[in-house]
Structure 1
Amino acid sequence: MEQTRTTAEVEDCLLVLAAEFGFTGLFGGLVPTRPVHVSEIPSRILFQRYPTEWAARYNGKGYIFIDPVVQRLSYERNPFTWRESYETCTQEKHVQLIRGEATEFGLYDGYVVPISTIDGDIAALSFGGPGAIPASADLSVLNFAASYAIGRRLHHLAAARRPAPDLTPREWDCLLWAGEGKTDWEISVILGISRSTVIKHITSAREKLGAVNRAHAIATAIRTKLLR
């Protein structure tokens, strides 16, 4: 998954893994935490590999607002099955509608992984398939894969919206030597500047790159071709 370049490739990786548990489709996105218009839903979708007709019907008719799975996501932060969300839903007519129509497209049961983002949003990845989930199935691997996939997709979206960072020559030099494994003191000797100035330049570069720490800044610079 780390080597993927497109959303479709990430979906392919997830489906290969999910197939080991009998799942054939997946859907992921940002969960609405406030009333939104149906026209806003497409912008919240991060992954979608369900039968085209079912996806079009689900999105077009605004089923997200009555789906027992989404309702459970409003309070549940631990992974759960579709069956569990159907059992706890108080609107039986909604259960019959969503479960019935999903089954028409070979989606009988599924597994949902809620994910809290660093921005405070709730994302979720839902795997679906034609059969019941075995009680003995260890789905923890899907928890990790889902979290990683959502994180990677959100990072790509943020990077696409973020303008290219304008690093100063000194910031670039400091980050370059940091990428070579040099310490702040070693970089200060190489560049003929104080250690505190090195730290200042690296901190500034990190902030411009939107990185959480030094290693993340170096990795981001390499990935965006600022460093080679």
Structure 2
Amino acid sequence: MSQLEDVNSFIGKVRAISTADDLRLLMESITREMGFANYSLFQHVHSWDWNSQSALAISNYPTGWIEYFFSKQFNRFDPVLRAAQRTALGFRWDEIPRMLPLSPKQLRVLEAGRRSGMANGFTVPANIPGEATGSCSFVVPGNVALPERNLSMAHLIGGFGYEAARQLWTRQVGIVRRAGPARLTPRQHDCLVLVAQGKTDWEIAQVLGLKESTVNGYIDDAKAALGVTRRSQLVTRALYEGHICLSEALQ
């Protein structure tokens, strides 16, 4: 299958899952298919309790590395997590020194990861207002290069995977998001497709023959309907819930 077909297939499958184990199996399969060894869907918290459900965490990282990571409290200054808080775009770990100055502690985290087989990776941030920041990371060991041709696919899979984990987690801890599925008007749908294609409100207005302020209103109403506050979250949620399809977004 093509990458587009693979991503569409993944989206269809994550919509149907009901347990964290279902998501783990899906993530492990697509992670290997893209050429990575491990993945992590993780909400960034300063205080970690293995017996608590207060944070989202699903991964197949080596158990020894996870235990060591939290025993040393690396989550408090991990440069991957810090970099994820500074951007909405996916990034390679070897780009981190250009994204932020690294302290000796942060360099030790990266070195410890390399020694544990977590040599390089690609991280997709998930910065959602009102929630702890989070991310989806895909990792390769030291003797394997990052699968360059699949990084765009990893960006999409990371966003949808994290959203699926959020949906499971919020049901598990009893957080209520919306009473039922959102309904978008035809104009909201049209605007949303063009947002997914990367167009500005002015460009959307030109395409649809509307005022820019009217387009802005449709987009704000769509955000409210889907329970998000940012355009990037709007697109991810709309794709995840099936309001638009990936082929429309990539036209």
Shorter-normalised TM range: 0.5 to 0.7
Of 98, 115, 118, which residue of structure 1 is paired with 2:109? Answer: 98
Partner secondary structure for residue 150 of structure 2: coil
Would you identify which runs of 4 or more consecutive aligned residues in structure 1 move more than 4 Å? 38-42, 118-121
Q: Does the 8 Å contact 1:15/1:23 carry over to 2?
A: no
Structure 1 stretches of 5 or more lacking a match? Answer: 166-205, 217-228
Indicate the residue corresponding to 1:213 in structure 2.
Answer: 183
Flag the structure with larger Rg: 1
TM-score (norm 1): 0.62
Shift of 1:132: 2.7
Structure 2 stretches of 5 or more lacking a match? Answer: 1-13, 186-224, 226-251
The aligned amino acid for 1:116 is: N
Distance across 1 between alignment mates of 2:73 and 2:56? 13
> What are the equivalent positions in structure 2 for 1:120-199 lying under 5 Å apart?
121-130=132-141, 131-134=144-147, 136-162=148-174
Indicate the residue corresponding to 1:24 in structure 2.
Answer: 37
CA-based RMSD: 3.2
Distance change in 2, residues 1:67/1:160 (3 Å): closer
**Which gives a bigger RCO, structure 1 or 2 (Cα 8 Å, sep 6+)?**
2
Partner secondary structure for residue 134 of structure 2: strand
Indicate the residue corresponding to 1:71 in structure 2.
Answer: 82
Distance change in 2, residues 1:212/1:40 (3 Å): farther
Distance across 1 between alignment mates of 2:154 and 2:170? 24
Partner secondary structure for residue 138 of structure 1: helix
Distance across 2 between alignment mates of 1:26 and 1:156? 17
Partner secondary structure for residue 213 of structure 1: coil
Q: How many residues align?
A: 171
Indicate the residue corresponding to 1:190 in structure 2.
Answer: none
Shift of 1:28: 1.8
Partner secondary structure for residue 36 of structure 2: coil
Moved more, 64-73 or 98-107: 98-107
Distance across 1 between alignment mates of 2:154 and 2:62? 21
The aligned amino acid for 2:160 is: Y
